Amino acid sequence: MEFLRNTWYVALWSQDLAPEQMISRKFLNEPIVLFRQADGKAAALADACAHRFSPLSMGKVVKGANVRCPYHGLEYDGTGKCVFNPHSTGQIPPAMKVRSYPVAEKHSIIWIWMGEKEADLSLIPDFSVLDPDPKKPVSKRDWLLMQASYELIADNLMDLSHSAVIHEGILGSEHTVKGNVTIEQRGTTVKAGRNVPNVPAPGLYDLIYKNDGRQVDLWQDMRWDAPACMLNDTGVTEPGAPREEGTGFYGLHFLTPETETTTYYLFCAVRFNPISWGQPLDGEIQTKISELRRFAFQEQDQTIIKAQQDRILGQKTLQHPVLLDIDAGPVRYRRVLEGLIKQEREATNTLQGKESQAA
Ligand code: FES
Ligand SMILES: [Fe+2]
């Protein structure tokens, strides 16, 4: 599997990286340690000391800003430069440094740039729905390490017809199987919409709406941006009524490959037009949203996607699925992603060609 590299991946929820803390991750097969510098800015370094390759993440943050290697105590700053050698004369060879990855903090997320090209902040997709707004309660900013490739999970999210089957009772039901699928593309942003008119409100939607199981119009509009950052504008309203009169949530889904077959999955839900039942019920509903969505992704999606992946891996005859019209979303986003990866590959080849000519 070839990954897109010159793009922003979601590393962590901002709230999960405290001062003095180090978090070890592997993104695109590369071990990385994340920590905060003295000014609070997040930094990301290759998680292997340049001296003898011990994981820096097993050391600690010292002097409020440096990472100290757990083995012989060399210290690195947020740029990856070795800034302190406790031994003999304290001399530091110029090559004593580790790779540092550009990091940005926006929309309550720490983003990491995995490519060699200069990081481009304008490429962070708009997730301002995550910026603080008292009128839009947010469920737990949660995450899972999924035992499945990010592509299979993105396929799952770009075709929400599965919610009627896998998530029956929570996010769908036998009534919500038939939806009208629409596909829209602007630049490299893909939207897969799904409208399901006049059906009994499925579990989670009923819970945040009228809790009476009555008929509603249901919509699920999933937006995809490279590499795998998704926003699902979803909700319910009275049959025939405009969406603004209903209620719903933005489902945020961020996928960052750990390896070809495992993926960090960060998620939460931001409610819009929330209906208040007063406390303590509102608090209980918020908790329930967090719990139900985690259950749906961890126990239901993961189980089936991992089993699907186990079937596909190493089976040459199972590489070309027979598609249905519900697959329009996965097909379109994969086409865009493959195009971006191809562009990146060609640009790298051209550059390498020029370099070898010059040498
Ligand atoms: S391995 Fe890091 S200081 Fe020796
Ligand atoms: Fe799902």
Summarize pLDDT for 61-96 with one digit per residue, the tens.
999 889 999 999 999 999 999 999 999 999 999 999
Rounded Cα distance between 297 and 283, Å, is 22
Question: 227 lies in a domain?
Answer: yes
pLDDT digit string (tens) for 152-204?
999 999 999 999 999 999 999 999 999 999 999 999 999 999 999 999 999 99
Rounded Cα distance between 328 and 158, Å, is 8
Ligand 1 site, residue 69, Cβ cutoff 6 A: yes
Cα 156–chain centre separation: 14
Ligand 1 site, residue 74, Cβ cutoff 6 A: yes
Look over the chain and give the mean of its residue pLDDT values, rounded to a whole number.
96
Count of CB atoms situated within 10 Å of the CB of 218: 28
Question: 3 lies in a domain?
Answer: no
Instruction: Provide the CB-side half-sphere exposure for 242 (13 A, CA).
Output: 3
162 and 306 fall within a common domain: yes
Question: 350 lies in a domain?
Answer: no
Residue 106 three-state SS: strand
Ligand 1 site, residue 51, Cβ cutoff 6 A: yes
Rounded Cα distance between 281 and 271, Å, is 15
116 and 186 fall within a common domain: no
Which ranges in the chain belong to alpha helices (H)? 150-158, 203-208, 281-295, 302-312, 328-358
pLDDT digit string (tens) for 94-133?
999 999 999 999 999 999 999 999 999 999 999 999 999 9
Question: 352 lies in a domain?
Answer: no
Question: 167 lies in a domain?
Answer: yes
273 and 328 fall within a common domain: yes
80 and 146 fall within a common domain: no
Name the pLDDT band for 314 (thresholds 50, 70, 90): confident
59 and 198 fall within a common domain: no
Question: 343 lies in a domain?
Answer: no
For residue 60, the enclosing domain spans 8-123
Ligand 1: nearest atom to the Cα of 59: 2
CB 47 within 8 A of CB 33: yes
Number of domains composing the chain: 2
What single string gives the DSSP state of each residue in 219-250? EEEEEEETTTEEEEEEEEESTTS-GGGSEEEE
108 and 247 fall within a common domain: no
Mutational pocket test of ligand 1: of 67, 72, 82, the residue with most ligand atoms within 8 Å of the beta carbon: 72
Ligand 1: nearest atom to the Cα of 53: 1
Residue 112 three-state SS: strand
Mark which of 123, 144, 173 sits at the end of a domain.
Answer: 123
The burial class, CB within 10 Å (0-12 / 13-18 / 19+), for 109 is buried
Q: Whose CA is nearest to atom 4 of ligand 1?
A: 72
Tell how far the Cα of 69 is from the centroid of ligand 1, in angstroms.
6
Ligand 1: nearest atom to the Cα of 69: 2
Question: 341 lies in a domain?
Answer: no
105 and 169 fall within a common domain: no
Mark which of 123, 141, 166 sits at the end of a domain.
Answer: 123
CATH number for the domain spanning 82: value is 2.102.10.10
198 and 235 fall within a common domain: yes
207 and 312 fall within a common domain: yes
Ligand 1: nearest atom to the Cα of 72: 3
Kindly state the average pLDDT of the residues 295-317.
95
CB 300 within 8 A of CB 167: yes
Return the amino acid letter for 253.
Answer: H
Paired residues of 175 in beta bridges: none
To the nearest 10°, report the CA torsion of 114, 117, 119, 125.
-70
Rounded Cα distance between 85 and 7, Å, is 34
CATH number for the domain spanning 156: value is 3.90.380.10
CB 5 within 8 A of CB 115: yes
Tell how far the Cα of 292 is from the centroid of ligand 2, in angstroms.
11
Rounded Cα distance between 344 and 109, Å, is 25
260 and 278 fall within a common domain: yes
Looking at the predicted structure, is the pLDDT value of residue 359 above 80? no
Name the pLDDT band for 319 (thresholds 50, 70, 90): confident
Ligand 1 site, residue 86, Cβ cutoff 6 A: no
Q: What is the pLDDT of residue 349?
A: 87
Looking at the predicted structure, is the pLDDT value of residue 29 above 80? yes
Give the CA distances from residue 205 to residues 169, 209, 219, 280, 285, in Å, rounded to whole numbers and listed in that order: 10, 6, 11, 19, 11
The single-letter DSSP state of residue 58 is: G
Rounded Cα distance between 289 and 40, Å, is 31
Q: What is the pLDDT of residue 316?
A: 82
47 and 155 fall within a common domain: no
Ligand 1: nearest atom to the Cα of 73: 3
Question: 28 lies in a domain?
Answer: yes
97 and 137 fall within a common domain: no
Ligand 1 site, residue 308, Cβ cutoff 6 A: no
Mark which of 123, 143, 167 sits at the end of a domain.
Answer: 123
Percent of the chain with pLDDT over 90: 94
Tell how far the Cα of 153 is from the centroid of ligand 2, in angstroms.
9
List the one residue out of 89, 43, 38 whose CA is nearest residue 64.
Answer: 38
